Amino acid sequence: MRTAEIGHLLRLEWQLDRRQKHAWGSMALYVVSTVYVCYQGVRHLSDVPVWNALFWIVVLFAAFNALARSFQREDAGRQLYLHTLASPRSVILARTLYNALTMVALSLLSLGAYALFIGDRPLEQAQLGTFVATVLLGGIGFAMVLTLIAALAARAGNGIGLMAILGLPIVLPMLLSVMKASKLALDGLPLSVTGQYLGWLVAIDAIAVALAWLLFPYLWRD
């Protein structure tokens, strides 16, 4: 496992994804249409707890949808190529990082679409910087926890359904702390209060990545 190898793998992912522009389009469309469906259901929301909860549900399902495909698109040839080229630990770290970057983009997009359709009233009295930081950390956190689960589901030869079953109970702790933190940020509380929950978030991320690093080689070999 070397940094250069991870960098190389990241570049490879990016090149592959650039060739499949429709994948990005489908992820973006998924988010926007989810938000639009919510909009049809609730119109404008100014109630902060409900706004917050609905937003995180949108992000959570966007994450499931986006991350499920991260190991799904693997065909046999490409896997063999990666297998001979790189160590499994580099592969999982690169994939986790790449997914984290994807989630940064996706959660910002969700936030934009959500604010546009459902309303940005709750953002008015919020600590905006802290809130956006929470959104980014939350998105990254989902990627860190769910990447290994996505690999598992793909290996089990089952799609997004299995991933939801396996992943939901595991992201729940992260979802609870991120919802709590973002609710506090929306209420306008300073970073010193919200920071504790963001700290939990980072700690869970670290543990999840360490576990993925430890366990992925066992998934990789056949």
Question: Distance (Å, rounded) from C-alpha 32 to C-alpha 89?
Answer: 34
- Give the binding site for other proteins (CB under 8 A): 145, 148-149, 152, 155-158, 162, 165-166, 168-170, 172-173, 176-177, 180, 197, 200, 203-204, 207-208, 211-212, 215, 218-219, 222
Shortest distance (Å) from residue 18 CB to other proteins: 31
Q: CA gyration radius for the chain?
A: 18
CB atoms within 10 A of CB 90: 23
Shortest distance (Å) from residue 149 CB to other proteins: 8
Nearer Cβ to other proteins, position 131 or 200?
Answer: 200
Selection from 215, 208, 219, 217 nearest residue 99 by Cα: 208
End-to-end CA distance of the chain: 20
Nearer Cβ to other proteins, position 80 or 207?
Answer: 207
Shortest distance (Å) from residue 37 CB to other proteins: 26
Shortest distance (Å) from residue 6 CB to other proteins: 21
Selection from 49, 201, 64 nearest residue 133 by Cα: 201
Question: Distance (Å, rounded) from C-alpha 151 to C-alpha 146?
Answer: 9
Nearer Cβ to other proteins, position 25 or 199?
Answer: 199
Nearer Cβ to other proteins, position 20 or 158?
Answer: 158
